[in-house]
Each structure stands twice: as C-alpha cells, then as structure tokens.
Structure 1
Amino acid sequence: MNYRHAFHAGNHADVLKPVVLLALLDALRRKDSPFFVLDTHAGRGRYRLQGEEAGRTGEAAGGVLRLAGAVDLPPAVARYLEAVAALNPDGGLQVYPGSPLLAAQALRGEDRLAACELQPEEAAALKALFAGDARVAVHARDGYAAVRALLPPRHQGRRFGRGLVLVDPPYEAQEAEYPQVTAAVREALERWPQGMCAVWYPIKQRRQLAPFFRALRALPARQVLLAELLVRPDDSPLRLNGSGMALVNPPWKFDQVLAPALPALRDRLGGAGASTRLEWIKREA
C-alpha cells in the first residue's frame, strides 16, 4: 500500500491517530519532569485539505469533516478537535495538522521533539514549519535508523526519563514493513526502557495482522494495548477498511481514556459493519 499522507489527510485513519497521540501527550504533561518525543516518519507536518493532494481524494469528508459541529463528544475526541481548531483561527477547516505539529503544540518549554522525515521535499517543508522553535529538531533521515542514533534521548548532557516514540510509516512495502517496525520498537525499548511506543498500522484484512501481533507480544515490554477503528467490514483486501494504534507500555489506565472515544468515532465515521477493538494483547502485573 502506498500511503502518501498528503492524499489522506483528515481521513478516518488520520483521526484515530491524533486522538490517541494527544491523549498520550496529555498523560506525559501531567507530570512536571520534561519529556521527549521521537516521530520517526513525520511527513511535512501540516496539510491543506483543499490542496492538490487532499483535495483530489476528498477523504477528509469521511473523516474529520464528519466531526465538525459535533457536541457531547468524549474528552479525547473533543481534545483533538480543539487542537485542530487552534490551527484554524479564522474558522472552517483549511489546515490539518500532522503528528509533529500536534506534538509541538503539546510541548512545554523543557520538552523536546525530534521529527524525522526521509523524503527531501517533505523534510524541507518540515524544517520550514519549525524554523525558530528551539524545542523541535528536524532530521532529514531514515526514521528507523534514528531510533539507534537518538535514543536514549539527551539534551545538553541531560537524559530524558520519560517520553514517546511514534512509529507511523507509510507501509509502502506492505506486509514487509512490519518486521522493520517491530525491530525498531524492540531497539527503542532496549535503549530507552522508560519510554512508551505507539505504532500506527493499516487494516485491510485483520487476519493478515496476526504475525505482527505475535511479534508485539514478544517484545520486552510489560504491556501492549491495541486500539482499532474500522469504518467498514474488513473483507476487502483492496481498501483501507480501518487502522489501529499499538501502544507499548502506555500510561496507567489508558484503556479507560480510549474506551469512550472509539465508539464515538465509529458511530460518526463508520458505515454498515463498522467496529472497534480495544484489547490488551500483553499485560503483565
């Protein structure tokens, strides 16, 4: 699957991911000590929904635009919509944030973000976006290799004891990408045991993900939580039927944060046969 983010900005998968991401960042913000975020596949950071790519596909109409004006939303979904609205002060929805921009919004003065992007044009746009923001370092490099180079995180000789590694690859190699993903997460955990990891993954047919889930269970982690949103039945291998976030060592009781959010997204973004999944596939005491 060639998942170029600009073509899919604001679609159902691009709603689930920031909802989960912001909830994780908010959990990190609840403690005073600084945290570090590594975004391995950051993209350009900001997208125009009326631009050439997103405007051509119109996928936001089945995603974020369906949430416009919604009321009585669970806190995690409302938090996401507030973050998007903050980037559109004139009203409407013209600009859609990628994961590094949302992460930067959540950073405090001592927190740090390292955003990696391999494609030259995307990396240049990302550097321009964060020019002058001392909290954000943009690396034009392979995100998987950055795990070894940048972890454990340090700033001015000080190590960060807390933080998040976000792994959100385009899955251009389809199933062949999963071994790279799990290898990167394994290395992240070995180099930075205190850190959390969050992995986005596409769902065409859920049964095809079984080897990936087995590999996640084998990681040197205490807990692995899956949060999935399918907007249609997973019976078509040719469509993106849904997506999920695999959360490795998430915050305490994080499933309770997501529990009301997933059904709300299903009801507003899904069609016939839509479903959700929130399941611990590994949970040690």
Structure 2
Amino acid sequence: MLSYRHIYHAGNHADILKHLVVSQICRHLIKKEAPFFYLDTHAGIGQYSLDSEQAQKNKEFQSGIARLLDEKNLPESIEALLDIVKEMNPNKSLQFYPGSPKIVDYYVRQKDKLHLCELHPNDYPILAALFPNKRRANVSKEDGFSSVRAMLPPPQKRGFVLMDPPYEVKKDYQYVVKALQEGCQRFPQGTYAIWYPVLNRKQADDLLKAVKATKIRNVLLLELCIRDSEKERGMAGSGMIVVNPPWTLEQEAKEFLPALSKILAEDNQANHQVSWITPE
C-alpha cells in the first residue's frame, strides 16, 4: 500500500512533536566539530505547501503550527522550530511548513551528509528536486527500513536515524522495531528516533512493550495526546521513542511538552509524558 500522503496532515500536532525532537537532536549534534550522518527512512516531499488542495482539505495546520505562531513566551526549543518556519515564510503569511529533511537541512554543515528515502512514486521526484546536490543529500527511491541495514554504520561515525513510517500497514509496527534492532547492532552509538501515532492506547503500548523487549538501553519516551484517545476515531496524539538521546533532551521535553499540551489541547483529557522505556 502506498496511499498515504503526508501533505494532508502537514503542520499538525504530531508534526510539531516530531520536528521539535528532530530540531533539538540536530542542535546538539552541531555543537561538536565532527561531521554527522542523517538517515530519514520515510522522508516525504521535504516541505509542504499549506495552500495546496491536500493541506486545505482538513487544515490540520490551523490547530497545530498556526496556534504556536500566535503564542508568546514559549520555551526556547519551540522558538527554535518556529524560527525555521518563519524563515520559510518571510512575508509572515503561513504558506509553507518544513518536513523533517528540511529541518535537518537547516542545521547541517558542508561536512555533514543526508540520506533521504522515499518510496511513494509521486513524492520521490518532488523530494529529489528539493535536494539536487548529491554531495549534500542523497535521495533514494527505496524502502526506508532496508536502508538502515544498507547505510549503517556511516563513515562519519556520528549519526541520527529518523524512522516515521505512516503505519498504514500494521506490519510497520513490527518493521520499525526490527529496523531499530538492526541499526543498534550495526551502529550502537547512533541516535535513533521513532515516531508513532496514538490511535488507541493498546496499539501504542504494544509498540512500547516491543521496544522494551529488545533490551536496547538508553531509550527515552516522549508522548503528547491532545484529546482522549478512546472516545473518537483518529489520531489523538503521537510519541517519539529516542535511543541515545542528547543528554539535554529529557529536561527540554519537560519544558516544551506541558506548553504544547496546554496550547494544542482539544479537550480536558490532553496529556503528555516523559519517561524512560529503558535507562542507560
């Protein structure tokens, strides 16, 4: 199945959590002079036009990134993400929203390298056109999970792997755990971030249990739910599973998650959590 198009959901609450984590990991990586490698297993088209017919269908960005842009006195980590969004929208009208590749591209230096995977036949050429410089970013039309096996360990010896499949196929829940295991075996010092949706509590908890069962150490969990996950159909929230997180990320999340929960809440059941699936 390749029906999923992320543009329908660009800039929503799940994007904000994912991209905050991506931004903070990159900010940490560039503090050191040594180059780093970034692997994105499901890169999408890289950036999204919020004026497009697809984005306008449900206008999920209006209850997501648009709300944040109207807020004052936000945590520094949120402001850093908003700086990227504002740079993409210089006329102050919200027309574009960055995907994960564009956020990482904001931070990477000439010595760093991106490998972006996108299998969707319509999305791949758009992503490739956005990143034409192969020395900076290699864009590949391939299964992102197999790229974990093929691309690791990287020659840079420092790296960040983002896995955020659409989970339109239920086996993605198994594939993402398997890919994490393979990645950690091949490149144990890398940072891995897995995004997952909270469609219902049991499905999300089963994924967290499967990650814990791998016995991989140093695994941080960040989760944001904007409403009750059991009352309505659809995505009530999402989470990020981060292996080998920056040492600052736990405290940063304890600052930005309460702010997001307050600003993006859709009912009084909105909640968030910061916890360790497995300590170091």
* Unaligned stretches of 5+ residues in structure 1: 154-158
Q: CA deviation at 1:222?
A: 2.0
What is the match of residue 275 of structure 1? 271
What is the match of residue 116 of structure 1? 117
For residues 222 and 109 of structure 1, the distance between their equivalents in structure 2, rounded to whole angstroms, comes to 32
What is the match of residue 82 of structure 2? 81
Is contact 1:41–1:169 with CA below 8 Å preserved after alignment? yes
Deviations 1:182-214 (A, max 9, x none): 000111111111101000000022222222112
Cα RMSD of the aligned pairs, angstroms, is 1.5
Residues 1:261 and 2:256 are matched in the alignment:
yes
What is the match of residue 178 of structure 2? 183
Q: CA deviation at 1:220?
A: 5.0
What is the match of residue 70 of structure 2? 69
For residues 265 and 220 of structure 2, the distance between their equivalents in structure 1, rounded to whole angstroms, comes to 22
Q: CA deviation at 1:105?
A: 1.1
Is contact 2:196–2:204 with CA below 8 Å preserved after alignment? no
**Runs of 4+ in structure 1 over 3 Å off:** none
What is the match of residue 145 of structure 1? 146
What is the match of residue 21 of structure 1? 22
* Unaligned stretches of 5+ residues in structure 2: none
Is contact 1:7–1:56 with CA below 8 Å preserved after alignment? yes
For residues 213 and 69 of structure 1, the distance between their equivalents in structure 2, rounded to whole angstroms, comes to 34
Find the partner of 2:157 among 158, 161, 167: 161
SS of residue matched to 2:122: helix
What is the match of residue 216 of structure 1? 211
After TM superposition, list the pairs within 5 Å mapping 1:183-262 onto structure 2. 183-219=178-214, 221-236=216-231, 238-262=233-257
Deviations 1:151-203 (A, max 9, x none): 111xxxxx1121110001011113x3211000001111111111010000000
SS of residue matched to 1:41: coil
For residues 254 and 223 of structure 2, the distance between their equivalents in structure 1, rounded to whole angstroms, comes to 11
Q: Which amino acid aligns with 2:158?
A: R
For residues 274 and 3 of structure 1, the distance between their equivalents in structure 2, rounded to whole angstroms, comes to 26
SS of residue matched to 1:54: helix
Identical positions, percent? 43
Using the size of structure 2 for normalisation, the TM-score is 0.95
Q: Which amino acid aligns with 1:167?
A: M
Q: CA deviation at 1:25?
A: 0.7
For residues 37 and 132 of structure 1, the distance between their equivalents in structure 2, rounded to whole angstroms, comes to 15
Q: Which amino acid aligns with 2:272?
A: T
CA spacing shift, 1:274–1:95, aligned 2, 3 Å: same
What is the match of residue 156 of structure 1? none
SS of residue matched to 1:259: helix
Q: CA deviation at 1:237?
A: 6.1
What is the match of residue 100 of structure 2? 99
Is contact 2:215–2:278 with CA below 8 Å preserved after alignment? no
